[in-house]
Amino acid sequence: MGRQNVPRDQWLDLGYECPHCGEQLDESMVYSWRPMPEDPKILLLYCPNCGDRVQINHI
C-alpha cells in the first residue's frame, strides 16, 4: 500500500499521483474518509489503473 503525506488544499486542487504507477488520483476515487469528509486526516482509495491501495494522510 502506498502512503503519502499531502496538504489537503493541494490534494483537492491538484489531485495526486499513485506512488505505484503514477496515475492521477482525485476525490472520486476515495472509498473512506476518516474521521469524516469535512475534516479528513486519512483518505483511503484504490488506484483504478494498477489496483494499488493508497493511503493519503492530510497534514
- Strand segments, DSSP code E, in the chain are 2-6, 16-17, 24-25, 30-34, 42-46, 53-58
Of the pLDDT bands very low, low, confident and very high (cuts 50, 70, 90), residue 3 is confident
pLDDT at residue number 2: 72
- What residue has cell string 492521477? 24
Q: What is the pLDDT of residues 12-36, one digit of tens each?
A: 888 888 988 999 999 899 999 999 9
3-state secondary structure of 14: helix
Total-model pTM: 0.80
In this predicted structure, the answer to whether residue 1 has a pLDDT above a threshold of 80 is: no
In this predicted structure, the answer to whether residue 9 has a pLDDT above a threshold of 80 is: yes
Cα–Cα distance for residue pair 40/33, rounded to 1 Å: 6
